[in-house]
Amino acid sequence: MAISDLFNKHPDVDGILATDNVAAATAIKVAAIKSKLAPNDISIIGFSDNKISRLSIPPITAVSQHPLEIGKSTVNIIIDRIESNEPPAFQTKIIDAELTVRESTRKLTVLSHPK
């Protein structure tokens, strides 16, 4: 689904979690065409904290997935499998991600629920 289709089908959308920062920057542009400005009217978050997220106007809040750490971990797993005489075992490696908050998202007020 194209970003413009999203706005046409859901004109009341107030947040987008884009698959990457190009899509997030595109969402900011299309939102502005639809008279929705980030962060006041819509919050937009991208993935992979890169130059696009920092240079976009407004700068994009992004989830950083640490690609260098992912690459190093992957290479180490491959080397271990090549050097091992054992059949490869399934392995899960968790690498932390972090959210870098910038100007494409607004702060929300969280209301507490009575207990």
We report the CATH number of the domain holding residue 20 as 3.40.50.2300
The answer to whether position 107 is within a domain reads no
Which residue stretches of the chain have pLDDT < 50? none
The answer to whether position 83 is within a domain reads yes
pLDDT, position 95: 86
The answer to whether position 108 is within a domain reads no
The answer to whether position 67 is within a domain reads yes
Closest CA to 16 of 108, 58, 25: 25
pLDDT, position 49: 84
pTM above 0.75, yes or no: yes
Rg (CA), the chain: 19
